[in-house]
Amino acid sequence: MKTWSAPSVPALDVVSPPLRLRDEHTGELREVPTDGPVGVYVCGITPYDTTHLGHAATYITFDLAIRALRTAGHEVTYVQNVTDIDDPLLERAERDGIDWQDLAAREIELFHGDMVALRNIPPQHYVGVVETMPRQVAVIQQLLRDGHAYRLPVDDAESGVTGANDIYLDLSTQPSFGSTSGWTREQMLEVFADRGGDPDRPGKRDVLDPLLWRGQRVGEPHWDGGELGPGRPGWHLECTTIALDHLGMGFTLQGGGTDLIFPHHEMSAVQAEALTGSSPFAHRYAHQAMVAYDGEKMSKSKGNLVKVSVLRAEGVDPMAIRLVLLDHHYATDWEYSHDQLTQAQQRLATWRRALSNAADADAQEVSREVTAALANDLDSPSAIAAVDAWAAKHQDAAAGDSPTVRAALDAVLGLSL
């Protein structure tokens, strides 16, 4: 699928220290492994109700990680999917009386416009699930052949078609299940149904077994599954297949929001392990904490959304939106309020004054501070504090422009001022 256009990223004199991220199990800061090829997979949007500030926070966080890895001298292969077929997308299309493909196309377009405005670096491989159907089918066939999956025929009367099967991964063949999230079975059962799981499907060997293939139901889009029967893939498998096809087993970093820790990232990993007989799927995981609004997680299902495109249409500077998001560390939940945008606009005005007046005074120091903050668990709030201190010192200098500081803010923080 066509990706969005890339922002220019200035070259820097400063080399970043190695990127360290907190280990989600121990809290300890650990270097991201960069001895082999560096591959990053970030879970992309389900294209409806995009891009709200929660989505934007997630994609900016991984944009910072990619910039930090590049500034440390690494080439990064960045992969992002689009979940362009899924139950909630179909439900929204039905509700709004619009074709699901038109809805997806419209929202993907909107998302691209927002990513360009926010200056996020595009992935090299931007992959829609719909364009990968033969690969999804082949992967499920292999899991069945290897005895890791089982079929549950769908009742013809219920589905309205003949020969449809739901297919599940048999978790009992995967002793590593649970190790990616570190969650207990009790924690898993608590959220599974709310996060797209189907614990009540009769016939499942384990209520948590993830759906690999949903047999066709009448009126639903479906693809030829060969010996699987007609249907479409399960959500977790889609990301397993796309990540393996473009990065292979043992890639560097898997990203998304904390709402994906379980089941999505746990199941994606365990499926890959079943398929390849090796581990790990990803060496490291990082998750963007949840952005709230009106007292609750910002989410499409609740409708408490602040959309980037709406703010842009109101004339808000996209760099102010980016600065609001950068002012919160990725691992801390936070709630958006409009005064944060006002504050970011004031901050940008101060920074712009200093950039025009400081004539690059202390440029190396501030560039190094910003770069070091980002290498330290993507600590963007500390980077902002360093720029604040620099700007306070130099805004009244009247000595001319500061191209070196401008370049550092652009390359490391994605802020073109």
Task: Find which of Zn ion, ligand 5CA, none residue 74 binds, CB within 5 to 8 Å per kind.
Answer: none
Cβ at position 408, least distance to ligand 5CA in Å: 27
**CB 84 within 8 Å of CB 108:** yes
Q: How far apart are CA 375 and CA 257, in angstroms?
A: 20
Assess 239 for contact with Zn ion (CB under 5 A). Answer: yes
Q: Which amino acid is at 349?
A: A
The rounded distance, in Å, linking the Cα atoms of 344 and 325 is 10
Q: Which is nearer to Zn ion, 188 or 363 (CB)?
A: 188
Q: Which one of ligand 5CA, Zn ion, none interacts with residue 54, CB within 5 to 8 A by kind?
A: ligand 5CA
Residue 129 binding Zn ion, by CB under 5 A: no
| Closer to ligand 5CA by Cβ: residue 108 or 413 | 108
Which residue in 9, 21, 42, 43 binds Zn ion (CB under 5 A)? 43
The least CB distance from residue 169 to ligand 5CA, in Å, is 17
Q: Give 260 or 391: the residue with its C-beta nearer to Zn ion.
A: 260
CA 376 to chain CA centroid, nearest Å: 20
For residue 40, list its beta bridge partners: 78, 253
Considering the complex, state which of residue 109 and residue 224 has its C-beta at the smaller distance from ligand 5CA: 109
Among Zn ion, ligand 5CA, none, what does residue 380 contact (CB within 5–8 Å per kind)? none
- Say which residues have a Cβ less than 8 Å from residue 53's Cβ, sequence separation at least 6: 291, 293, 298, 306, 307, 308, 321, 324, 325, 336
- Report the residue number, 230 or 234, with the smaller CB distance to Zn ion: 234
Which of Zn ion, ligand 5CA, none sits in contact with 290, Cβ below 5 to 8 A by type? ligand 5CA
259 binds, among Zn ion, ligand 5CA, none (CB under 5 to 8 A by kind): ligand 5CA
343-382 positions binding Zn ion, by CB under 5 A: none
The entry of ligand 5CA, Zn ion, none near residue 234 (CB within 5 to 8 angstroms by kind) is none
Instruction: Compute the least distance from the CB of residue 327 to ligand 5CA, in Å.
Output: 15
Residues that bind ligand 5CA (CB under 6 A): 43-46, 54-55, 57-58, 81, 83, 239, 256-257, 259-260, 288, 290-291, 297-299
**Which amino acid is it at 305?**
L
Is-contact 111 51, C-beta < 8 A? yes
Please tell me the count of residues contacting Zn ion according to CB under 5 A: 2
Q: Give the nearest residue (CB) to Zn ion.
A: 43
User: 338: burial class by Cβ within 10 Å (0-12, 13-18, 19+)?
Assistant: exposed
Question: What are the percentages of helix, strand and coil residues in the chain, rounded to 5?
Answer: 45, 15, 40
Element (H, E) at 41: strand 38-42
DSSP for 236-251, written as a single string: HHHHHHHHHHHT-TTE
